[in-house]
Structure formats: C-alpha cells, structure tokens
C-alpha cells in the first residue's frame, strides 16, 4: 500500500508542478471584428480575424487589451495547449487605458486554472518575462528582457491619452498584446505596444493602471481615468519666477491653460497659478515629481484617483501658498471622433452623408 502511494506520487507530482506554471493561465484570443468606415459611414469593412493574448485573473475573468477585442463580432479563446475554442464576451472595456476584461460563459473553461496575481510597479534594471501568442507560430512564446525606463507616454490605441508605461527590451510583437509581463509569478504589466522607430523597445501597462481599471469596474460600470483640465508649463526662467514672487529653487510648475469643460477647476485655479505640491509630492519646475525611485510627470497622481474624487494641492498665487481641494472628473466630451471605438458612426453622420449614400445606391441600380 505504501509502495503504491509512492508510485502515484511519482506519476502525478510532475503534472501538478507543470499545471501550476504561469503559462497555464495565459490564453490566445481570436477576435472576428468589423470596423466601420468613418469617411463613408454607410459602408463597413469585411469581417477580419485578429489574434492577441490574455490571462486569467481573479473572479474567473480574462484580462487583455481593449484594442485586441475592439469592434468585435465574435471572440474565441484557447487555453494553453488545448485545441478547443471557447466563446467569450466583453464584460468591461476601457479604451482610454487600453484594457478589457472578458468572461467565458462555459464554466469548464476555468477548471484547473490558477488566476495570476497583479504585483506592484517593477524597478528599472530588473528582468521581466513576457508571455503571449505573437505572430509567427501557434504555440505560446516567451521572451525575457530588462526594464529600461518607466515614464508617462502616449497610448497608441487612443493617441490623445498619455498614461504611465514601462519600457523593456523584451520582444513585444503583434499578437503579444494583452499577454502578461511577469516577475516570478506576479503580473507587473500587460504587453500592449511597440515603437517601429526604436530597436528592442516594447511597452507594457504597469500595475498602477491595471489596479485603477479593476477598482473602477467594481461598481458594475467603467467611468474611465479622470482629468483636471489643467495644462502646465515649465518654470525655469528666473525673471518669470521673480515676477511671480517665487524663489529661484526649481520648485513649482506654472498653469498656463485651463481647459473646458471643467467648471470646478475654473472655480479653484487661475492661469499663472504655480503648483508646488500634489498629494504631498513636491512638483519640480519641469512638472515632474520623484515617484518610487523614478522621475515622472505629475499627471500620474491625477491618474491615480477615481472619477469624482479629489486631490490635495498646494499652489502659489500672488506671493502666497494656498491649499486647495481639487475634484477630478472624466472628460466625456468627444475629442477625436476616430477614437469612438465600438460606436457606430451612423448616428453622427450628417444628412449629406445619407444623401451621398442614396445617390450611390441609385447609380448602382441604374447601371
């Protein structure tokens, strides 16, 4: 009896160790999507197949990029080394941060899967491993690299939005999008974009942004990352600092513009106010702060709070320090019509669009 148990242990132990590997939670995503034509909104492109990656997180959900599942007609997911395809649905999607959460209705999909855990912001010069299903093959791919830079950069999915990103020299290719970047067994990012003008440079979305997204959807809806409606400018000029009655100590960024529509910002702030501190972080004359060993743009503090919450600011106005409480909100105004993902252009089409469509239809009928 003892010998039999020992034999079973030898047989099943390797399987148990293999099943616990992080790649078990990484999935391939196949999206059949149909994009509209914003120039001729009565037309649509053909349904095309796109592939990406994702990974299982707590709550029997799959995290991926928003651009992986945008304009979807049907989404299928495949588990690690499993031939079966499972239909999936978009539960929440955030185009401003390029993240999405999927749900697979079939409970059999989650059997034996251990969800991956979200870690913390990694350190520069530490190693990272990316998992995913990039172009060039059907099997899962692993690449390892070093984290070279952490800073605020533009997100390609909606180019008018800049959020915190992590740069690595690990290869991130088409199809890697949505896959996890891991240190040990902890997720330290979601792979999402590269830069064709740079060599050996890939980017992933850090845990700060991931946690903000997951916290946002806890109430059953996604509100998005808030804005304060502030544009800042560097304040290096000694003469300008003297005119503002500021000491020449390289502290403080000038507010050079207040944007619309943010009425509460206009009530509390003025142009040429100088931001000295945000949430206790000292703001340099270049609009940067020291954050977890990195010098980053102060906007990361505004991105850290949820829609409708407030930030504590210390500003300089007319030679005096003032403490203010500044609410931040999601700007729901449409800035770039082409960024209206998953929204049909037809409701926004003017009458002349329909008139042109009607004329083309009549011409085709005559021919």
DSSP state of 22: G
- CB distance 191 to 53 below 8 Å: yes
- SS3 for 269? coil
Radius of gyration of the chain (CA): 25
Catalytic residue, candidates 53, 70, 72, 177: 177
Find the angle CA(239)-CA(244)-CA(250) to the nearest 5 degrees. Answer: 70
- CB distance 103 to 62 below 8 Å: yes
Whether 106 sits among the annotated catalytic residues: the reply is no
Catalytic residue, candidates 67, 95, 157, 212: 67
| DSSP H helical ranges for the chain | 2-19, 66-69, 207-216, 238-243, 263-268, 299-303, 351-366
Compute the Cα dihedral for 60, 63, 68, 69 and give only its sign: positive
Whether 67 sits among the annotated catalytic residues: the reply is yes
Beta strands in 79-126 (DSSP E): 85-94, 99-103, 117-118
Q: Are strands 186-194 and 117-118 parallel, antiparallel or unpaired?
A: parallel
Residue bearing tokens 């070279």: 148
Compute the Cα dihedral for 162, 166, 169, 173 and give only its sign: negative
- SS3 for 281? strand
Beta strands in 95-221 (DSSP E): 99-103, 117-118, 127-132, 141-154, 162-168, 180-183, 186-194, 202-205
Integer Cα distance of 30 and 72 in angstroms: 10
- CB distance 194 to 130 below 8 Å: no
What is the chain's length?
367
Whether 98 sits among the annotated catalytic residues: the reply is yes
The neighbouring-strand residues paired with 185 are none
Q: Are strands 127-132 and 180-183 parallel, antiparallel or unpaired?
A: antiparallel
DSSP state of 65: -
Catalytic residue, candidates 96, 98, 273, 303: 98
Integer Cα distance of 246 and 46 in angstroms: 60
Active site residues: 67, 98, 177
């Amino acid at each position: 009896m003892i010998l039999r148990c020992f034999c079973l242990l030898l047989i099943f132990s390797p399987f148990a160790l293999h099943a616990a590997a992080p790649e078990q939670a990484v999935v391939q995503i196949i999206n059949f999507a149909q994009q509209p034509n914003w120039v001729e909104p009565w037309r649509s492109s053909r349904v095309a197949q796109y592939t990406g990656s994702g990974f299982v997180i707590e709550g029997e959900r799959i995290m991926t990029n928003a651009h992986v599942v945008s304009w979807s007609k049907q989404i299928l997911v495949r588990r690690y080394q499993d031939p079966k395809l499972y239909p999936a649905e978009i539960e929440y999607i955030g185009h401003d941060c390029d993240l999405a959460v999927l749900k697979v209705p079939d409970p059999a999909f989650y059997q034996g899967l251990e969800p991956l855990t979200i870690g913390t912001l990694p350190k520069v010069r530490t190693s990272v491993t990316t998992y995913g299903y990039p172009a060039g093959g059907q099997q899962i791919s692993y690449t390892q690299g070093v984290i070279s830079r952490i800073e605020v950069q533009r997100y390609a999915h909606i180019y008018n939005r800049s959020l915190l990103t992590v740069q690595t020299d690990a290869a991130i290719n088409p199809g890697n999008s949505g896959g996890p970047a891991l240190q040990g067994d902890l997720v330290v990012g979601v792979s999402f974009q590269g830069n064709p003008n740079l060599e050996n440079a890939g980017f992933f979305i850090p845990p700060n942004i991931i946690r903000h997204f997951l916290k946002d959807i806890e109430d059953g809806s996604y509100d998005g990352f808030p804005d304060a409606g502030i544009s800042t400018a560097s304040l290096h000029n000694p003469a300008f600092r003297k005119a503002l009655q500021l000491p020449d100590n390289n502290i403080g960024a000038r507010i050079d513009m207040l944007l619309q529509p943010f009425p509460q910002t206009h009530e509390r702030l003025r142009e040429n106010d100088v931001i000295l501190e945000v949430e206790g972080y000292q703001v340099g004359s270049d609009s940067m702060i020291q954050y977890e060993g990195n010098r980053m743009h102060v906007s990361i503090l505004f991105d850290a709070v949820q829609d409708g919450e407030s930030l504590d600011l210390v500003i300089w106005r007319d030679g005096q320090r003032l403490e203010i409480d500044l609410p931040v909100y999601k700007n729901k105004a449409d800035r770039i019509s082409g960024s209206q993902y998953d929204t049909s252009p037809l409701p926004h089409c003017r009458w002349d669009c329909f008139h042109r469509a009607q004329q083309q239809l009549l011409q085709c009928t005559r021919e």
